[in-house]
Amino acid sequence: MTSPTSVPPREDTFQSSARLFGVANSALSITCSVYLAVGLSYLAERRIASGLWIVLGVLGVRWVLLTFISRWDEHAAATLRARWRATLVRHLTRPQPERERARGDLALAIEQASHAPSLELLAASAVSALAGLAVLFWAGGWLALTVTVALLAAAVPLYRRAGTRSQSTALEYQGRRTMLENRQLELLHHTTELRALGAVEYGANEIAAISDSEHAIAIRAIRVALESSLVTEFLSGVSIGLVAMVVGFALLGGRISLEHALIAVLVTSEIFTHVRRYGVEFHRREDSERSLNLLGRADDALAPYSSQLLVATNVVTTASGQRVNVVLEPGRHLLVTGPSGSGKTTLLDTLIGWRDPTSGTVARADVRTGHVSVESSLLSGTLRDNLVLGRSIPDLDVLACLSSLGLNGPRFEDLDTELLADGRGISTGENIRLVLARALLASPDLLYIDDIAGVLDDDGRRLVQRAIVANRSLGVVEATVDTPLITDVDQRVELGS
């Protein structure tokens, strides 16, 4: 079994270049500070021409450096956004449980993950900027160095505290936003029933309450961010002020030159600039890491050379403490039985990947997979649209599949027949067979059937069984209480009550 790598090669390239540019950024910035101090000292000594040339040269180098880093940052972010957006299909084609149907988190995750290179650059800049302490000691002496190191040490826990608070607030806001999206989808799904019961206002009031709480969390997040900025700016200002005072007294006492005094002050400012930028981005770094984990998350996959469709090893679900081991190959059939409430549906959802197991592992082949249950629904649109789902399938093949499942007559012979949302106007048994026809027309390699035999009559069960058995290469996983559709079972899992 293999697992996909969490970081693609392209991201490795950006991380390496981010570290390189981060080191170069801090080194050039400190060098520019030294030369700027030299230029200012020349101006103070009335060496106007030399001083102006040095100052203008430093400003030019800084502008080129900032422009280059900004352009590189934009290029890296745009490349990563395009890379992750191209993988959205992989996430969106994986069905979600009811409580996770909203996927606004993916759009936010892409934006946050695209900032990973710039955050890596800031981290490298902050670490390498500490080399400027040697320059500070050379220019300002041990007292200026001691003051700066002490305030840097004091800043670390304050940065972490402010960042942790920002991270906590951001997580709370994201959770509340997800709740709002999910609840909106759920209420929209039940709009007809709510309107019939005269309870539309109930849904509107609930959405308004969740929205108000989301706004309150957003305001608190802004307040925390402002407090974090105040802390970092205060420490930076105090450090530069104290160093300026120390070198000022040394300058008055004739112990150091003006050039060295300016170098000490400007280098201290540069060191704290890089450290401060790194510190205030604490929660963004955490957000970026979580986003990369979300976008890179993929089901455990079987090796390409494996002939197995599904392998479950010591799987324990949230609904049952029973350990389940399954190996399913093409054409083989697995039957999951047990009384109502024993966890059959939860086990199927876990094998598919809609739920995570409590323990154990599930590996799945990258194959086309179908799923049919009593909760499977149709879409508003024509019968053809519901069955082919945009694929190019000849009408004769579609009609033959419907006929094999006993769906005959005027309602099913005209593929342009309009269906109502959720299949209203069609019986439960017919709805199940239409959903099964949709799955079979997709030519799946693996089909999950979740307890549908009970809503079919004897003729319907026989036709469905015949249609499934006709596909000899189709792997089937069926969950049922006592009336299975598949009789030639290769593997059986019995769950206790």
pLDDT at 120 over 70: yes
Lowest mean pLDDT among 210-214, 226-230, 426-430: 226-230
Query: What's the total number of domains in the chain?
Result: 2
User: Over the stretch 359-414, which tens digit does the pLDDT of each residue have?
Assistant: 998 888 878 888 998 888 787 788 888 888 888 889 899 999 999 998 888 888 88
User: Over the stretch 307-339, which tens digit does the pLDDT of each residue have?
Assistant: 788 999 999 998 888 899 999 999 999 999 988
**Helix residue ranges per DSSP H, 253-362:** 258-280, 282-296, 344-352
Is the pLDDT higher at 432 or at 209? 432
pLDDT at 64 over 70: yes
**Same domain for 189 and 264:** yes
User: Over the stretch 150-180, which tens digit does the pLDDT of each residue have?
Assistant: 888 877 777 667 667 766 776 777 777 777 7
Distance (Å, whole) CA 456 – CA 437: 15
Is the pLDDT higher at 104 or at 338? 338
Predicted local distance difference test score (pLDDT) of residue 163: 65
Q: Residue 4 falls within a domain, yes or no? A: no
Predicted local distance difference test score (pLDDT) of residue 9: 46
Distance (Å, whole) CA 19 – CA 410: 68
Show the tokens assigned to 266: 């400007």
User: Over the stretch 344-361, which tens digit does the pLDDT of each residue have?
Assistant: 999 998 898 888 888 998
Predicted local distance difference test score (pLDDT) of residue 83: 79
* Highest mean pLDDT of the ranges 101-115, 199-213, 233-247: 233-247
User: Residue range 80-95: average pLDDT?
Assistant: 67
Q: Residue 305 falls within a domain, yes or no? A: no
pLDDT at 98 over 70: no
Q: What is the CATH number of the domain that holds 443?
A: 3.40.50.300
- Please identify, among 274, 296, 318, the residue that sits at the C-terminal boundary of a domain: 296
Is residue 140 within 8 Å of 243, Cβ to Cβ? yes
pLDDT at 297 over 70: no
Distance (Å, whole) CA 189 – CA 186: 5
Is the pLDDT higher at 66 or at 200? 66
Distance (Å, whole) CA 439 – CA 461: 16
Predicted local distance difference test score (pLDDT) of residue 105: 63
Name residues whose C-beta falls within 8 Å of residue 274's C-beta, 6 or more positions apart in sequence.
25, 26, 29, 122, 125, 126, 129
Predicted local distance difference test score (pLDDT) of residue 8: 47
Would you place residue 184 in the very low, low, confident or very high pLDDT band (cuts 50, 70, 90)? confident
**Same domain for 361 and 243:** no
Q: Residue 130 falls within a domain, yes or no? A: yes
**Same domain for 277 and 325:** no
Would you place residue 56 in the very low, low, confident or very high pLDDT band (cuts 50, 70, 90)? very high
Q: Residue 301 falls within a domain, yes or no? A: no
Q: What is the DSSP letter of 5?
A: -
pLDDT at 298 over 90: no
Name residues whose C-beta falls within 8 Å of residue 279's C-beta, 6 or more positions apart in sequence.
126, 155, 159, 162, 163, 232
Predicted local distance difference test score (pLDDT) of residue 454: 83
Q: What is the CATH number of the domain that holds 47?
A: 1.20.1560.10
**Same domain for 243 and 338:** no
- Please identify, among 270, 296, 322, the residue that sits at the C-terminal boundary of a domain: 296
Provide the CB-side half-sphere exposure for 341 (13 A, CA). Answer: 1
Predicted local distance difference test score (pLDDT) of residue 304: 52
**Same domain for 321 and 247:** no
Q: Which structural domain range is residue 178 located in?
A: 9-296
**Same domain for 353 and 251:** no
Predicted local distance difference test score (pLDDT) of residue 59: 93
**Same domain for 231 and 321:** no
**Same domain for 333 and 265:** no
pLDDT at 10 over 70: no
Q: Residue 2 falls within a domain, yes or no? A: no
Show the tokens assigned to 363: 């590996």
**Helix residue ranges per DSSP H, 343-474:** 344-352, 383-388, 395-404, 410-413, 428-441, 458-470
- Please identify, among 296, 327, 350, the residue that sits at the C-terminal boundary of a domain: 296
| Three-state DSSP state, 493 | strand
pLDDT at 291 over 80: no
**Same domain for 483 and 338:** yes
In 10 A of CB 28, how many CB atoms?
14
**Same domain for 39 and 138:** yes
Decide: residue 152, CB within 10 A, 0-12 exposed, 13-18 middle, 19+ buried: middle
Lowest mean pLDDT among 21-25, 183-187, 266-270, 429-433: 183-187
Q: Residue 302 falls within a domain, yes or no? A: no
Predicted local distance difference test score (pLDDT) of residue 452: 87
pTM over 0.85: no
**Same domain for 139 and 275:** yes
Predicted local distance difference test score (pLDDT) of residue 101: 46
pLDDT at 55 over 90: yes
Query: Considering the chain, what percentage of its residues have pLDDT values greater than 70?
Result: 82
pLDDT at 242 over 80: yes
**Same domain for 333 and 287:** no
Q: Residue 239 falls within a domain, yes or no? A: yes
